[in-house]
Structure 1
Amino acid sequence: MDVKIDDYSQGDKNYVDYLVTGLTDDQLKFIQDNLEEEIEMDGDNLKIRMYFDDNLFPFNSDEAKFKLNDFIAREEIEMNVFLSSFLENL
């Protein structure tokens, strides 16, 4: 499984879009049926949109503005770990 941040925005609604690739059909179906976030399928790729309050938005800090690539990489790793744990229930 590979997780990449596809898009993000901070404004009226703070969100991060994650593009997830490398999942089996069973894993895709399990995530679609059990994850409560916004999910969109594009072939074998899965796009997950998560919304955040201002205080929880991962790219909100001053430090994130200077080390954005580090914060993006950390967020991708955290989502990968979350999905891996989530899929253990499969």
Structure 2
Amino acid sequence: MQVKVLDYGFDEEKELNYVKYRVIDIDSISQKKLMDELEEETEIISGELVLTVYFEKEYFPFGSQEATIRMDDFIAREEIEMTVFLSGVLED
């Protein structure tokens, strides 16, 4: 399984920050399990699972001043953390 950050920012309608992830290299059974188990927004686009997570301002992983300076590091860390989280969901 590979997780990549597709997009991040602020959703005006929901008034929350968000991170959108693309989850690839998983089979359709695992995709379905994640869609059923996760509370976050999930959808299949072109055969790939897309997951959108909303954050309050204080929990947004890219909201700090340091993140703006070292964004690549923060994105890589977020991808690793989401991979570990999703792997745990699939193991249950």
Q: What's the TM-score, normalizing by structure 1?
A: 0.94
Listed one character per residue, the Cα deviations across residues 45-80 of structure 1 (whole Å, up to 9, x for unaligned) are 000000000000000111001000000000000000
Q: What's the TM-score, normalizing by structure 2?
A: 0.92
Runs of 4+ in 1 over 4 A off after TM superposition: none
5+ residue gaps in structure 1?
A: none
Task: Please name the residue that 2:71 is paired with.
Answer: 68
Answering whether residue 91 of structure 2 is matched by residue 88 of structure 1, we say yes
Verify the 8 A CA contact 1:23 1:44 in the aligned structure 2: no
Matches within 5 A, 1:5-16: 5-10=5-10, 12-16=15-19
Shift of 1:43: 3.2
Task: Please name the residue that 1:34 is paired with.
Answer: 37
5+ residue gaps in structure 2?
A: none
